[in-house]
Amino acid sequence: MTVSEFDRQTSFGWLINVVAGQAEKHLDAELKKHGLTVALWPTMMCLWEEEGVTQRQIAQKAKVESSTTTRTLDKLEKLELVERRADPDSRRNYRIFLTQKGKDLQPHVAHLPVDINAVLLASLDDSEQAQLVGLLQKVVHTIEY
């Protein structure tokens, strides 16, 4: 499809932004009930998947800049959800671990994106949802960070 003029009704960027904006708005509202924000969410998800990783590994997994991860970890430390520990393999690096409070938070919030996605995708049948997700995965996997 080649379009020489911008038409938001057929613009991938505009359409995806509308959907993402709604998802973010709803997720942020729910996370705030638990003391989190959307900005902190990717790092917490990474740590629930695997602890003891470096800041650089978190940035790569969360697909965010390393400087953003530094600020995020500072905030999460202040909330007593994570802790930095010296890396036994490097004097310059730290390994990031969840505190017990961080671990205890997971069951209360891990389901939120699934619930929000279900609402946003309710107008699509299962096959359409799978096709949409598959196409988006294809696009995301070609993006370099």
Q: Please write the tens of the pLDDT for every residue from 128-142.
A: 999 999 999 999 889
In which residue are the tokens 């299962």 written? Answer: 126
Asked whether 31 and 41 are in contact (CB, 8 A), the reply is: yes
C-alpha dist (Å) from residue 46 to 21, 63, 117, 120, 135:
22, 11, 19, 24, 23
The separation between CA 141 and the C-alpha centre of its own chain, rounded to angstroms, equals 15
Measured torsion, CA atoms of residues 42, 26, 24, 3, in degrees rounded to the nearest 10? 150
Q: What is the pLDDT of residue 23?
A: 96
Q: What is the pLDDT of residue 145?
A: 60
Max CA distance (Å), the chain = 56
Cβ atoms within 10 Å, residue 10:
10
Asked whether 51 and 102 are in contact (CB, 8 A), the reply is: no
Q: What is the pLDDT of residue 91?
A: 83
pLDDT tens over the chain, length 145 residues: 555 788 888 899 999 999 999 999 999 999 999 999 999 999 999 999 999 999 999 999 988 888 889 999 999 999 999 999 998 888 888 999 999 999 999 999 999 999 999 999 999 999 999 999 999 999 988 987 6
C-alpha dist (Å) from residue 80 to 19, 64, 90, 114, 131:
32, 22, 24, 26, 40
Annotate 15-53 with DSSP letters as a single string: HHHHHHHHHHHHHHHHHHTTT--TTTHHHHHHHHH-SSE
Q: How far apart are CA 76 and CA 30, in angstroms?
A: 17
